[in-house]
Structure 1
Amino acid sequence: MMNTPPKLLSVAPMMDWTTRHARNFLRLCSPQARLYTEMVTTQALVFGDIPRHLRFEALEHPIALQLGGSDINDLVHCAKLGEDWGYDEINLNVGCPSDRVQQGRIGACLMAEPAHVADALAAMQAAVRVPVTVKHRIGIDGLEHIDDLLNFVDTVAAQGCQHFIVHARIAILAGLSPKENREVPPLRYDDVYRLKALRPNLTVEINGGIKTVAEIAQHWQHTDGVMIGREAYQNPYLLVEAQRLWGTTELPSRGDIIRAYEPFVARELADGVPLKQMTRHILGLFHGQAGGRRYRQMLSNLAPDAGLEALQAALAATGEH
């Protein structure tokens, strides 16, 4: 058991993935991790269906709302909405490299405008009582040096923001797809370590390519926290195993997690939600395990009217009871 409280652990906001169905499942994997919504654009909240975007269950706490946008008035309005809906944190996306969000002046392109980001975060902080944080890259095209990272962070911190979640890759905005930007630019963990060492008063959380409990513990030696991204989908049992960092010795089995997820699934089915909309988030639970391939096949080929028994059959195919 650890002698001191461990540092932060969170699951990254991921478009089309960190839905409320996924978050309910991920919370069962980790009571400790902070969960994030998908990025929700300010336009979606100003002009769209607010309950559809902001609804979540009490089980999901602690949970953060990630916003994408650049208009300060809209960001303030949406931060207030997030607080009113009960979110524990409001996060600004300054890391997404897709062409679509760049056209809307959203995401990583804002790293070229640190003063504007600072003003936006300051206005959001003044409007709400919950913490306001920023998720960003270590750099973008033409702003790739540690000094550029320090300038961005210092400019934003000068206006009051204290929590920085840093993806340890630059974003190449011209020429790479979002998928390539998650894989092609090399990971530069040392830049994030240096940021924390040079700015020890700030909370610095590291993100990018982290796949094992040992790696989480290693990064905790140099930063205040770790954010897990795609690995939370490819191998969500990693989050269960990470409970050992809190001194937990009795871990739930994969079958325990599925059975704990079933009441939520049953309620959603009763509301007309297709089973596949929920099971797509749990395909990786038996990654590398006996019966895991059959489990994945069964849940990937569900009939449109499949019910809870189909999930139970897939679990039975793994041999877990």
Structure 2
Amino acid sequence: MQVSERKRYILHRNARLSVAPMMDWTDRHCRFLHRQLSRETLLYTEMVTSPALVRGGAMHLLAHDVSEHPVALQLGGSDPVELAQAARIGAEAGYDEINLNCGCPSDRVQSGTFGAVLMRDAARVADCVSAMGAAVDVPVTVKCRIGVDEQDSEKVLPEFLARIIAAGCDRVTIHARKAWLKGLSPKENRDVPPLDYDLVMRMKQLFPHLHISINGGVETLDQALDLLDMGLDGVMIGRAAYHQPADILAQADRRVFGHDDDSNAEAAVMAMLPYIEAHLTAGGRLNQITRHMLGLFSGRPGARAWRRTLSEGAVRPGAGPELVLAALSHVTALAPVAKAV
């Protein structure tokens, strides 16, 4: 299927800043929170495996709120036919983009022959991208590493990119570290292998028409802006966006996307209250949402009391929006707002 040029252009623009797909973190509640802080930043789901959708019928994994858009579904898999089916399911569920995971180093992912291990099989990845692209009318993108284990990244990465470009991919996110599939844990793979931003910059020079976002080690919005100024098309931020979401996202619409205004953590909390109420009414638990809100006031007076109140109280039966307001009252600058509600 063909992707409209307008749709492609809009998502290329949104991809100037994105929040990385992170297992157990970027669920629908996390994404809803992040969307209260930035209207433009591209959001990603946790990785969903193609077998879970195609063979397991796990449609609940695709649940999302309309306000999350623009939002991308990240798929894990290595079978072109099954990935095409999963991509079609994701597009029909309303996702704006389908992303193929070629970067996750976990043992569970390796045993399924997908994730970072696919860096060893660019031909298979190209087949997957081609099949997915033929099945959907939304962009199909790839998230990868610069290589794995003893591979020569200077040789492997350009060959990998050339293959997926030929298969129809015009946007890629590169985690600027190798993945060591033996000897390092998934957690260590996020920090131990050295970053190589220069290699990613060389890939942009080598493939000027490929939209390249960089991922790995970006901790501030200032750093993201510096990387954009260096000529990269986008920056993807992971843990910093999760643990200090307001620091990364509250100024993103103005500083990255050219809007006139900023958002703030206070307004995000108030916007979450109706969402929380609806979730509780549907039988959900407060801590399923508030666990993603703990870092909202990181570095501000009262942040510790905010975290403690939510952490200790949200798991208790009957906890609801009033607990969030009580936590909010501990944040010095927000006490008048909380009392006025």
Gaps of 5+ in 1: none
1:91 aligned onto 2:91: no
1:57 aligned onto 2:65: yes
TM-superposed CA distance for 1:152, in Å, is 0.9
Give the aligned partner of residue 285 of structure 2.
274
Give the aligned partner of residue 304 of structure 2.
293
> Deviations 1:148-178 (Å, cap 9, x if unpaired)?
1111111221222111110011101001111
Gaps of 5+ in 2: 1-12
> Deviations 1:84-139 (Å, cap 9, x if unpaired)?
11110000000000011100011000000000000110011011110000000011
Give 3-state SS (helix, strand or coil) of 1:171's partner: coil
1:313 to 307, 311, 326: 326
Distance in 2 between residues matched to 1:254 and 1:171, nearest whole Å: 35
Distance in 2 between residues matched to 1:59 and 1:49, nearest whole Å: 24
Distance in 2 between residues matched to 1:247 and 1:123, nearest whole Å: 36
TM-superposed CA distance for 1:300, in Å, is 0.9
TM-score, normalised with respect to structure 2: 0.90
Identity of aligned residues (%): 49
Give the aligned partner of residue 71 of structure 1.
79
Which stretch has the larger CA shift, 250-259 or 166-175? 250-259
1:207 to 205, 215, 220: 215
| Paired residues of 1:7 and 1:220 also in contact (CA < 8 A) | no
| Paired residues of 1:30 and 1:240 also in contact (CA < 8 A) | yes
Give the aligned partner of residue 240 of structure 2.
231
> Deviations 1:17-57 (Å, cap 9, x if unpaired)?
11000000000111110111100001111233433111111
Distance in 2 between residues matched to 1:304 and 1:205, nearest whole Å: 43
1:38 aligned onto 2:46: yes
1:241 aligned onto 2:248: no
Distance in 1 between residues matched to 2:132 and 2:193, nearest whole Å: 31
Distance in 1 between residues matched to 2:185 and 2:318, nearest whole Å: 35
Evaluate the alpha carbon distance shift between residue 273 and residue 9 of structure 1 in structure 2; reply closer, same or farther with a 3 A threshold. same
Partner amino acid for 1:158? A
Give the aligned partner of residue 6 of structure 2.
none
Give 3-state SS (helix, strand or coil) of 1:301's partner: helix
1:29 aligned onto 2:37: yes
TM-score, normalised with respect to structure 1: 0.96
Distance in 2 between residues matched to 1:132 and 1:285, nearest whole Å: 32
Partner amino acid for 1:214? D
Count of matched residue pairs: 317
Give the aligned partner of residue 19 of structure 1.
27
1:216 aligned onto 2:224: yes
Alignment RMSD (CA, Å): 1.3
TM-superposed CA distance for 1:186, in Å, is 1.0
Distance in 2 between residues matched to 1:6 and 1:273, nearest whole Å: 31
Give 3-state SS (helix, strand or coil) of 2:296's partner: coil
Distance in 2 between residues matched to 1:20 and 1:7, nearest whole Å: 19
Give the aligned partner of residue 169 of structure 1.
177
Distance in 1 between residues matched to 2:186 and 2:299, nearest whole Å: 27
Give 3-state SS (helix, strand or coil) of 1:169's partner: coil
> Deviations 1:58-91 (Å, cap 9, x if unpaired)?
1000010000001111101000001111110000
Distance in 2 between residues matched to 1:256 and 1:120, nearest whole Å: 42
| Paired residues of 1:144 and 1:170 also in contact (CA < 8 A) | no
